[in-house]
Protein backbone atom coordinates (compact mmCIF):
# COMPACT_ATOMS: atom_id res chain seq x y z
CA UNK A 1 0.00 0.00 0.00
CA UNK A 2 1.37 3.39 -0.99
CA UNK A 3 1.68 6.00 1.70
CA UNK A 4 -0.61 8.99 1.35
CA UNK A 5 1.13 12.36 1.26
CA UNK A 6 0.37 14.57 4.19
CA UNK A 7 -1.62 17.53 2.96
CA UNK A 8 -1.16 20.99 4.27
CA UNK A 9 -3.89 22.55 6.36
CA UNK A 10 -5.23 24.63 3.49
CA UNK A 11 -5.93 21.61 1.28
CA UNK A 12 -7.53 19.72 4.13
CA UNK A 13 -9.66 22.77 4.93
CA UNK A 14 -10.85 22.99 1.32
CA UNK A 15 -11.79 19.28 1.28
CA UNK A 16 -13.78 19.75 4.48
CA UNK A 17 -15.61 22.71 2.96
CA UNK A 18 -16.37 20.72 -0.21
CA UNK A 19 -17.72 17.67 1.62
CA UNK A 20 -19.89 19.87 3.85
CA UNK A 21 -21.35 21.48 0.71
CA UNK A 22 -21.97 18.08 -0.87
CA UNK A 23 -23.97 16.89 2.15
CA UNK A 24 -26.47 19.72 1.60
CA UNK A 25 -27.70 17.95 -1.55
CA UNK A 26 -29.02 15.03 0.53
CA UNK A 27 -32.80 14.70 0.71
CA UNK A 28 -32.75 12.71 3.95
CA UNK A 29 -35.10 13.94 6.69
CA UNK A 30 -32.84 12.63 9.44
CA UNK A 31 -29.16 12.93 8.61
CA UNK A 32 -27.44 14.51 5.62
CA UNK A 33 -24.10 12.87 4.82
CA UNK A 34 -21.52 13.78 2.19
CA UNK A 35 -18.55 11.76 0.91
CA UNK A 36 -15.56 12.80 -1.19
CA UNK A 37 -12.88 10.62 -2.75
CA UNK A 38 -9.59 12.45 -3.39
CA UNK A 39 -6.22 11.33 -4.73
CA UNK A 40 -3.01 12.07 -2.87
CA UNK A 41 -2.29 14.60 -5.64
CA UNK A 42 -5.36 16.41 -4.37
CA UNK A 43 -7.62 15.65 -7.34
CA UNK A 44 -11.27 14.89 -6.78
CA UNK A 45 -12.17 11.41 -8.06
CA UNK A 46 -15.80 11.28 -7.00
CA UNK A 47 -18.37 12.55 -4.52
CA UNK A 48 -21.69 11.29 -3.15
CA UNK A 49 -24.43 11.98 -0.64
CA UNK A 50 -27.06 9.77 0.94
CA UNK A 51 -30.33 9.38 -0.92
CA UNK A 52 -32.96 6.99 -2.22
CA UNK A 53 -32.33 5.43 -5.66
CA UNK A 54 -33.02 7.72 -8.60
CA UNK A 55 -36.66 7.66 -9.67
CA UNK A 56 -38.01 6.67 -6.23
CA UNK A 57 -39.43 8.95 -3.55
CA UNK A 58 -37.16 11.31 -1.69
CA UNK A 59 -36.83 10.53 2.00
CA UNK A 60 -37.87 13.99 3.21
CA UNK A 61 -41.09 13.84 1.11
CA UNK A 62 -42.41 10.57 2.55
CA UNK A 63 -40.76 10.02 5.94
CA UNK A 64 -40.51 11.55 9.35
CA UNK A 65 -37.54 11.11 11.63
CA UNK A 66 -39.60 8.68 13.77
CA UNK A 67 -40.33 6.46 10.74
CA UNK A 68 -36.76 6.51 9.53
CA UNK A 69 -34.43 3.52 9.20
CA UNK A 70 -30.74 3.78 8.40
CA UNK A 71 -31.23 1.50 5.37
CA UNK A 72 -33.88 3.74 3.79
CA UNK A 73 -31.26 5.26 1.55
CA UNK A 74 -28.12 4.42 -0.30
CA UNK A 75 -25.40 5.85 1.88
CA UNK A 76 -23.06 8.64 0.75
CA UNK A 77 -19.97 6.43 0.72
CA UNK A 78 -21.63 3.81 -1.50
CA UNK A 79 -22.91 6.45 -3.93
CA UNK A 80 -19.47 8.06 -4.04
CA UNK A 81 -17.58 4.80 -4.64
CA UNK A 82 -20.13 3.52 -7.15
CA UNK A 83 -19.45 6.45 -9.47
CA UNK A 84 -15.66 6.25 -9.14
CA UNK A 85 -13.46 4.67 -11.78
CA UNK A 86 -10.55 2.40 -10.87
CA UNK A 87 -7.56 4.27 -9.45
CA UNK A 88 -3.82 3.78 -9.87
CA UNK A 89 -2.61 5.83 -6.90
CA UNK A 90 -3.58 6.08 -3.25
CA UNK A 91 -6.81 7.85 -2.36
CA UNK A 92 -8.46 9.23 0.75
CA UNK A 93 -12.19 8.89 1.39
CA UNK A 94 -13.50 11.84 3.41
CA UNK A 95 -16.99 11.48 4.94
CA UNK A 96 -18.92 13.99 7.01
CA UNK A 97 -19.96 11.23 9.44
CA UNK A 98 -18.33 8.09 10.75
CA UNK A 99 -19.17 5.28 8.27
CA UNK A 100 -21.71 2.69 9.41
CA UNK A 101 -20.74 -0.99 9.44
CA UNK A 102 -22.33 -1.71 6.04
CA UNK A 103 -20.37 1.17 4.48
CA UNK A 104 -17.20 0.08 6.26
CA UNK A 105 -17.59 -3.30 4.56
CA UNK A 106 -18.27 -1.63 1.18
CA UNK A 107 -15.18 0.56 1.58
CA UNK A 108 -13.07 -2.51 2.31
CA UNK A 109 -14.58 -4.30 -0.70
CA UNK A 110 -13.62 -1.34 -2.92
CA UNK A 111 -10.22 -0.76 -1.30
CA UNK A 112 -8.08 -2.43 -3.97
CA UNK A 113 -10.07 -1.08 -6.91
CA UNK A 114 -10.05 2.51 -5.66
CA UNK A 115 -6.69 2.32 -3.80
CA UNK A 116 -8.28 3.64 -0.62
CA UNK A 117 -5.48 4.06 1.92
CA UNK A 118 -7.20 6.33 4.43
CA UNK A 119 -10.73 7.12 5.62
CA UNK A 120 -11.34 10.42 7.40
CA UNK A 121 -14.57 11.57 9.02
CA UNK A 122 -15.73 14.76 10.71
CA UNK A 123 -18.59 13.77 13.03
CA UNK A 124 -19.53 10.71 15.04
CA UNK A 125 -22.27 8.28 13.98
CA UNK A 126 -23.33 5.52 16.32
CA UNK A 127 -23.80 2.13 14.62
CA UNK A 128 -24.79 -0.39 17.26
CA UNK A 129 -25.09 -3.33 14.84
CA UNK A 130 -21.46 -4.27 15.26
CA UNK A 131 -20.57 -2.62 18.55
CA UNK A 132 -19.28 0.36 16.60
CA UNK A 133 -16.09 -1.53 15.76
CA UNK A 134 -15.26 0.09 12.43
CA UNK A 135 -11.73 0.78 13.71
CA UNK A 136 -11.00 -2.94 14.06
CA UNK A 137 -12.24 -3.72 10.55
CA UNK A 138 -10.27 -0.91 8.92
CA UNK A 139 -7.13 -1.79 10.85
CA UNK A 140 -7.41 -5.43 9.76
CA UNK A 141 -6.99 -4.36 6.11
CA UNK A 142 -4.44 -1.60 6.76
CA UNK A 143 -6.71 1.38 6.05
CA UNK A 144 -5.88 4.36 8.27
CA UNK A 145 -9.06 5.57 9.93
CA UNK A 146 -9.31 8.83 11.77
CA UNK A 147 -11.52 11.68 12.81
CA UNK A 148 -10.38 15.10 11.68
CA UNK A 149 -11.41 18.51 12.97
CA UNK A 150 -12.15 19.08 16.64
CA UNK A 151 -14.35 16.92 18.86
CA UNK A 152 -17.52 18.68 17.70
CA UNK A 153 -16.68 18.09 14.05
CA UNK A 154 -15.91 21.79 13.66
CA UNK A 155 -12.45 22.99 12.87
ZN1 LIG B 1 -33.50 9.55 5.07
ZN1 LIG C 1 -23.37 3.75 5.77
Q: What 3-state class would DSSP assign to 2?
A: coil
What CATH number should be reported for the domain holding residue 30? 3.40.140.10
d(CA 114, CA 25): 24
Residue 153 pLDDT > 50: no
Specify the pLDDT at position 1. 47
| Assigned domain for 43 exists | yes
**For range 74-90, the mean pLDDT:** 97
Instruction: Determine the Cα–Cα distance for residues 69 and 90; give it in Å rounded to an integer.
Output: 33
CA 65 to centroid of ligand 1, rounded, Å: 8
What residues make up the domain containing 111? 9-147
Distance, in Å, from the CA atom of 107 to the CA atom of 87, rounded to the nearest integer, reads 14
pLDDT at 18 over 80: yes
138 lies in some domain: yes
Q: Give residue 77 CA to ligand 2 midpoint distance, Å.
A: 7
Determine, yes or no, domain membership for 153: no
CA of 111 to the centre of ligand 2 (A): 16
pLDDT at residue 121 is higher than 80: yes
Q: C-alpha angle with apex 152: 45 to 105, nearest 5 degrees?
A: 45
Query: Residue 114's closest CA among 81, 79, 87, 138?
Result: 87
Rg of the chain, C-alpha, whole Å: 15
Return the number of other C-beta atoms located less than 10 Å from residue 24's C-beta.
9
pLDDT at 49: 97
**E strand residue ranges, 1-143:** 34-39, 44-49, 91-97, 116-123
Flag whether the pTM goes above 0.85: yes
In a domain, 2, yes or no: no
CA 101 / ligand 1 centre spacing (Å) = 17
Q: What is the domain count for the chain?
A: 1
The backbone torsions φ and ψ at residue 42, rounded to the nearest 5 degrees and listed phi first, read 75, 35
The rounded mean pLDDT for the chain is 89
Higher pLDDT, 133 or 75: 75
155 in any annotated domain? no
Would 152 be classed as within a structural domain?
no
Which is nearest to 6 in space by CA: 154, 152, 148?
A: 148
Angstrom distance (rounded) from CA 9 to CA 19: 15
Amino acid sequence: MEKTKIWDARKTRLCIDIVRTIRKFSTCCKLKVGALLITEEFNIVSFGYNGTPKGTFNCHDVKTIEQHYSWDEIHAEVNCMGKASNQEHATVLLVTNKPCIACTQSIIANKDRLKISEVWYLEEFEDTRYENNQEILFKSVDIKFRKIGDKNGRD
